[in-house]
Amino acid sequence: MPQMSTLLATHTDLGPRATEWLRSLVNEWHLLADLSFSDLILWVPDRDPNQMWAVAQIRPTTGPTALLDDVVGDAVRYDPESLALQAYWSRESCETSDNKLATGIPVDMHAIPLVHEGRVIAVVEQHTNQMGVRANGALEDAYIAIAEVLRDMMLRGEFPLPGTRSHPTRSPRVGDGLMWIGPAGEYRYATPNAVSAYRRAGHLGDIVTATPISFREELGGQEELQRLLTAHEATEREVTVENVALRFRFTPLHDARGASAGACVLLRDITQIHRLDQQLITKDATIREIHHRVKNNLQTVSALLRMQARRVSSQEAKDALAEAMSRVSSIAAVHEVLAHSFDEDVAFDDVADRILAMVGDVASTTGAPAVVRREGSFGKVSPVIATNLSLVVTELCQNAVEHGLGGQSGEVRVVPARVDGQLIVRVLDAGQGLPEGFDPARTTSLGLGIVETLVADMHGTFTLANRREGGVEATVRVPAPESEHND
């Protein structure tokens, strides 16, 4: 809710606890909107207590809207007819006495002050379109009765309930199926969608005997079921019966004395979601297995290059094969990380550390020992650029060891950072520096040519320059979208 966060921070002095409580309310208030067939608006007081701001709004999915326009961001100022201001100042629920016309539509309005830790921090304004009122029936009567209990709980600061927050894609909503359970655990009403869900789960008897008791054992036994129906917290449970998966959401209801007033139980058939989850798990396992096999094949190629290098007599050929082996190994490191990752992006620090260790090992076997280390974090990068970036880091580190240090002992530092939507990677050595008049664009170095090509493919830039304190600094800048940041 980025807009709500901005409005709260800009116009109110609400603290973190109050702000989080309002977030919980907005996450759960779909229940009241759908059961009361009403639009809801959340008003919060400005630092000037004579005006309020609309920071959130929801429309019902069970009936026609009463508000044709989105009012989030609007304010009411010094308006004695504003129900929101009346409820805020009086600390009492306010309502219109007749059907007030709003853009030609007769609308009933209620304003409910929200008390948190002894202070009114907001007002929920309820707008009910009377032109499209549904004909009264058992469903409508049950909905409105539960909505009245919820509205009273909200007025007392008891809704939203603590506990499990609704999941945006899995949690049931009113339209998925609803059961109304009385304070003694008796059945009062079940919507047609709830009945259908029970039928699919294999219950062919009377719905009165179904209720949640039919799944008593799956829900944890009689004592746990009783707790779910009477506790002062919202809870969700999933059960699977006859290959049908049902997700329940228990919202206990309470009266002004704190005694149980029954429970509103939402349920949803999530069988298809379970099947899709299983397909995704299978697909994910297949992709990781492919990465594992690619890594094994690349390691085989690297081993073949190593064997070939041992059989040639030309030192130039040995060096060329060794460089090719390093490039193949750096790509293999990317696939090895992906083979063990459950995330779509690549935790590149693991890849970089493998590459730096490999470069350091090669340097120790061909000349004076060199220390190659990382300072800072790359974070996560997309697989699209991970392979290119691994090769770039490999080439720059090898170049720093072979040419920057010139076969002498020393240190090479790789310093990654994220700045203004870019990933900046600096490779620093304390060697002899670039010769006077050196132009990277005119060099015949294969390694630098590879770096320039790969960086261009990533829509980045590459620079190479002498450091003031001695040595060379190679800098790579590539775009780094927000999705690639660390969690």
- The closest alpha carbon to 211, from 174, 173, 184, belongs to 184
Residue 403 makes CB contacts below 8 A (sequence gap 6+) with 431
Determine which helix (DSSP H) or strand (DSSP E) holds 109, and give its type and residue range: strand 105-116
In a domain, 308, yes or no: yes
Is 335 found in the same domain as 363? Answer: no
Mark whether 54 and 189 lie in a shared domain: no
Q: Is residue 98 part of a domain?
A: yes
Please tell me the predicted confidence (pLDDT) of residue 209.
55
Q: What's the token pair of residue 478?
A: 């590539």
Residue 165 lies in a domain: no
CATH code, 380:
3.30.565.10
Indicate if 286 and 417 belong to the same structural domain.
no
**What percentage of the chain has pLDDT greater than the value 70?**
87
Using the predicted structure, report yes or no on whether residue 87 has a pLDDT greater than 80: yes
333 plus 349 within the same structural domain: no
Identify the CATH number of the domain in which residue 228 sits: 3.30.450.20
Task: Find the helix packing angle between 348-366 and 383-399, rounded to 10°.
Answer: 20
User: 366 and 377 share a domain?
Assistant: yes
In this structure, is residue 160 part of a structural domain?
A: no
Query: Do 259 and 310 belong to one domain?
Result: no
> Do 359 and 335 belong together in one domain?
no
Share in percent of the chain as helix, strand, coil (round to 5): 45, 25, 30
Which is nearest to 271 in space by CA: 240, 237, 236?
240
Could you tell me if residue 285 is inside a domain? yes
Residues 251 and 324 in one domain: no
For 419, the token pair is 């700045």
Tell me, yes or no, whether 337 and 349 share the same domain. no
Q: Based on the fold, state whether residues 358 and 472 are members of the same structural domain.
A: yes
* pLDDT number for residue 127: 93
- Characterize 201-233 residue by residue with b for buried, 16 or more Cβ atoms within 10 angstroms of its Cβ, and e for exposed: bebeeebeebbbebbeebbeeeeebebbbbbee
Are residues 41 and 81 located together in one domain of the fold? yes
> Of 217, 247, 269, which residue is a domain's last?
269
DSSP 8-state code for residue 457 = H
**Domain boundary pick from 98, 125, 155:** 155
How many domains does the chain contain in total?
A: 4
Residue ending a domain, among 308, 326, 342, is: 342
Examine the pLDDT at 329 and tell me if it is beyond 50: yes
Residue indicated by tokens 């699209």: 384
176, pLDDT greater than 60? yes
Residues spanned by the domain of 442: 345-487
Dist CA 343 CA 163 (whole Å): 28
**27 and 117 both lie in a single domain:** yes
For the ranges 50-64, 312-326, 466-480, the one whose mean pLDDT is highest:
50-64
CATH number of the domain at 63, please: 3.30.450.280
List C-alpha distances in Å: 73 to 8, 16, 255, 341. Answer: 10, 20, 34, 42
Express each pLDDT in 421-475 by its tens digit: 899 999 998 887 887 777 666 666 777 888 888 899 889 999 888 888 888 889 9
